[in-house]
Chains A and B, each alone.
Chain A
Amino acid sequence: QKEVEQNSGPLSVPEGAIASLNCTYSDRGSQSFFWYRQYSGKSPELIMFIYSNGDKEDGRFTAQLNKASQYVSLLIRDSQPSDSATYLCAVGYGGATNKLIFGTGTLLAVQP
């Protein structure tokens, strides 16, 4: 059973701080890793994806992947109240099924 685990939170950070969101996965065959943001009552929207070990930066967001530890994280710098949402980690297995397994999400609350 492939699993993706996240702390459900809420993770509360003050405005301007760095928010750190973490995710672990169980299957070493995982090939691709995604972070989605979901506002209440809305659909998930892609923030970033990462395939290789190391860091990947896009604006205020940095994704970090460590395949040896089966760990992926998302850092949000200069957090804004508008970043308050649920952040979903997803792990892809590629192949014929292109299956994406989601974690249960971490609720982030950025306090003004």
Chain B
Amino acid sequence: DTAVSQTPKYLVTQMGNDKSIKCEQNLGHDTMYWYKQDSKKFLKIMFSYNNKELIINETVPNRFSPKSPDKAHLNLHINSLELGDSAVYFCASSQGGTENTIYFGEGSWLTVV
């Protein structure tokens, strides 16, 4: 079983559309994340939820809205997509605490045309 799974893996969409990416983890972790990796491979945190509560909200346009229905799921909805939103979006989870090892999903490749 995949520990952190996200769908869809590939998404090509037009500017102005609204799209969602879903994520689920079966590791029993309390904390989930969305990271964005741009074309230069820089991996930057966007959001983090701990047990359904938003704890990190980096400087991200408010067109991006995360939702965590329970601690095993964290979805990302993007409104009014722009060309600059094209990137790989990684969902991740961790147990938190001092160790805080983060485990990544396989990524969702978003291309806005």
Contact = CB atoms under 8 A, between A and B. Distances in A.
B105 interface: yes
Nearest to A88: B43
A46 B93 CA distance: 13
A43 B55 contact: no
Interface residues of B, number: 26
B42 A104 contact: yes
Nearest to A94: B98
Interface stretch (B12-20, B44-52, B64-72, B76-84): B44-52
Interface in A73-112: 86, 88, 90, 92, 94, 96-102, 104-105
Contacts of B106: 42-43
A86 B56 contact: no
B104 A44 contact: yes
6 residue pairs, one from A and one from B, having the closest CB atoms = A43-B104, A102-B43, A98-B96, A98-B100, A92-B100, A43-B107
Interface of B: 31, 35, 40-45, 48, 50, 55-56, 90, 94, 96-107
